Structure 1
Amino acid sequence: MKYTVQTHRPLFVALHCQEVGGKNYEASMTHVDSFIKELLSSDAMKDFNRARVYLDKNYKSQEQFTALGCCYFIHESLKNIQQFDFKAKKFRKVVGKEVCSDALPSTATLEKEKFPQDYFPECKWSRKGFIRTRWALADCAFDLVNIHLFHDASNLVAWEKSPSVYSGTRQKALGFVLDRITDQRFERLPYFIFGDFNFRLDSKQVIESLCSTASMQTVRSTDTNEVDKLIFRESDNDHKVVLQLEKKLFNYINQDVFRENNGTQLLEFDRELSVFKERLHELDISFPPSYPYSEDSSQGKQYMNTRCPAWCDRILMSASAKDLLPENEEKSITYDNIGPSVCMGDHKVLLTNQPLQLVCVCEFRYTSDILVKPKNHSKVLLFF
């Protein structure tokens, strides 16, 4: 983050996080406050005199806990910025620094929802939901939505049919979010929704493509007779194993297929967003699958053999936001991940530099963070 801030010299920084506290959140949640305190006082953020930090840390409330975090930092030279009060239904000037976690459900400057329990696979609670904030810079107003959708619990279940049952669950949850942020309670504004969508490739069809000349062996559990693993072997070449598939194992013989040409030959199997083609828009993908990267610090480019690599992390926008893109600049826009050789956990952070004209006043660019710096007196430049 320090490098990004120093490079772009932003006036407005927004960080969207999922799984605050990590996988072992009960033991690790205490470290979150220390991290935020260090971030607020860091040298990179010394010129940011206003901040809003929202952390959903209350894991004891399973009905509401999403483990989402949103951090917004405003530079001292940015004078005209307001945040929306969803209870009073009006914008308020942003003053000072505030960190909110204990009373998040009652906080007026955001909307946070966990998905209804019947949306969760087997109705078991997990940390999935969304947070919306609304901002105004000069005459430009827009929503930012942090989201975390459901993952594939089992590679074997995902393989059973096309599209998978998990794809249907994510579709239902994303539809829920879009309906909520566009309902009649508030004025509809352009919105940008980015986070961990957990979008996966069509497992059945991508495996059939990768293993088109292989024969499949089914191995069943001796106790339950349920499928325990699938082994795909080449018909010749000493019957070499091409792919071994288990509940949490996706061991494919050649990971390069996911990296060569940024894995674009597999984009035909990336179909989950197509259901929302009238409501959500995205730039052309030209980066490798963003998940599941190795968490070994020496293996920044390597995928783990746990899941089929997929473009889980996305930057999406409403049709009204898409209309703000200057047509003559669309081909020059970058949509990419950052730190391609650096271990950043199992997900890679995404970056775009898409310029958007908002009522001829603001020019926007998007990355996984929002970074803003003045271009001239009538424009502001943002990065997500």
Structure 2
Amino acid sequence: MAGKLTAGSGILLVTANVGSLFEDPDNLQKTWLREFYQTVQSHKPHFIAVHCQEVGGKNFEASMSHVDCFVKELLSSDAMKEYNRARVYLDENYKSQEHFTALGSCYFIHESLKNIHQFDFKAKKFKKLVGKEIYSDTLDSSPMLEKEKFPQDYFPECKWSRKGFIRTRWALADCTFDLVNIHLFHDASNILAWEKSPSVYSGTRQKALGFVLDRITDQRFEKVPYFVFGDFNFRLDTRQVVESLCSTATMQTVRAGDTNCVDKLIFRESENDRKFLQFDSELSCFKERLHELEISFPPSYPYSEDSSQGKQYMVTRCPAWCDRILMSATAKDLVLKPENEEKTLVYDNIGANVCMGDHKPVYLFFRLTAGAGKPNANKHKCCNVQ
């Protein structure tokens, strides 16, 4: 049904919280795009999926105009000239607060990939992809994706939260899979995050992620392998970090002058370079449903937004691996096929030595071998192709 490439189709999945890019478009966007293009040139993928969060930035009313320039540059650049088909879905309708997620899902197909299909969720058919198209104002009614914003009561502290997910479904190299762009809730208060282990915010993120997984595996459509990648806002267990790494540190309590409430806790300790991954535990309760390759890159957040500081973290929050690429067990089987040599399987960040904004993009590159997604001959019996 889809393209058969004897050497395997190179797949590049990228997740990037791009909010910073629209606060300082003249500097950060150029650097970000250069590093992204270098990643594309290095791996030469046939299919690229870029999942963006916080499209338009924090001041989206003023910055949304910069988004169009950013997307046009991606679609027309020399570095992407061999990608002759594209689909870009941008949730830019900030006036619809009950639906606005500020998510952007961008897909690019190389000219050598002759046959690729995208699923129409309304018609329940796969449709062949031709040309380049951008959708922004009609996402809620588009049959080519599913978009949902999390219910307001999931995160009542943040009245106008933009958190939610976008799901698309694809077929190539005889394999069908879902790609889910996700943005989960952040830690609204460092103090509250520190008070309990695990924190109250960890529970909120677990609830939202469970909501997404239940939604994309329900009975409405055929179950297929899925990749969920975005800004999960996973944080280290703050209390355990403090107790373990700062047991000999001095603690300074800063109180607000008007209320005398605790406003800030400062822990000071020097010469401590121990690894933080042992405190990265939010994914553990989903170990039967979600899988991840081994992390070998530094925490992806929160970096300084000073364009001259490429490796410097902000001092406002504890560094954490917020940006991740997770997958179902069946998707992991696709990625870890025996014929996939280790050198063609990469899970890493982008722009390690330069400023990419407060988040470093994270990517996964692998090769999808023909027939990899066909456990039986009736794999696509429910999926008509148009």
1:121: Cα distance to partner? 3.5
The answer as to 2:333 corresponding to 1:323 is: yes
CA change 1:30–1:46 in 2 (3 A) is same
TM-score, normalised by the number of residues in structure 2: 0.82
Partner of 1:85 in structure 2? 120
Partner of 2:309 in structure 1? 299
The answer as to 2:319 corresponding to 1:309 is: yes
Match among 199, 217, 222 for residue 234 of structure 2: 199
Q: Which has the higher strand share?
A: 1
In 1, Cα distance between equivalents of 2:330 and 2:239: 35
CA change 1:192–1:41 in 2 (3 A) is same
The answer as to 2:214 corresponding to 1:179 is: yes
TM-score, normalised by the number of residues in structure 1: 0.83
CA change 1:334–1:34 in 2 (3 A) is closer
Q: Which residues in structure 2 correspond to 1:219-234 (within 5 Å)?
A: 219-232=254-267
Contact 1:330–1:354 at 8 Å: present in 2 too?
A: no
The aligned amino acid for 2:361 is V
In 2, Cα distance between equivalents of 1:275 and 1:20: 29
The aligned amino acid for 1:339 is G
In 2, Cα distance between equivalents of 1:16 and 1:214: 39
Q: Which residues in structure 2 correspond to 1:142-153 (within 5 Å)?
A: 142-153=177-188
The Cα RMSD (Å) is 2.0
Alpha-carbon displacement from aligned partner over 1:314-338 (angstroms, at most 9, x marks no partner): 1100011123323586866432212
1:142: Cα distance to partner? 0.4
Higher relative CO (CA 8 A, sep ≥ 6), structure 1 or 2?
Answer: 2
In 1, Cα distance between equivalents of 2:320 and 2:75: 33
CA change 1:156–1:73 in 2 (3 A) is same
The answer as to 2:78 corresponding to 1:31 is: no
Partner of 2:354 in structure 1? 342
CA change 1:97–1:212 in 2 (3 A) is same
1:285: Cα distance to partner? 1.1
Alpha-carbon displacement from aligned partner over 1:169-197 (angstroms, at most 9, x marks no partner): 11111011101110101101000111111
In 2, Cα distance between equivalents of 1:2 and 1:218: 45
Structure 1 stretches of at least 4 aligned residues deviating more than 6 Å after TM superposition: none
Match among 251, 264, 276 for residue 266 of structure 1: 276
In 1, Cα distance between equivalents of 2:160 and 2:322: 21
Unaligned runs of 5+ in 2: 1-35, 375-386
The answer as to 2:352 corresponding to 1:352 is: no
Unaligned runs of 5+ in 1: 233-240, 243-252, 258-262, 363-384
Percent identity of the aligned residues? 77
Q: Which residues in structure 2 correspond to 1:212-251 (within 5 Å)?
A: 212-232=247-267, 241-242=268-269
Contact 1:54–1:99 at 8 Å: present in 2 too?
A: yes
Partner of 2:246 in structure 1? 211
Instruction: Report which stretch shifted further, 269-278 or 95-104.
Output: 95-104
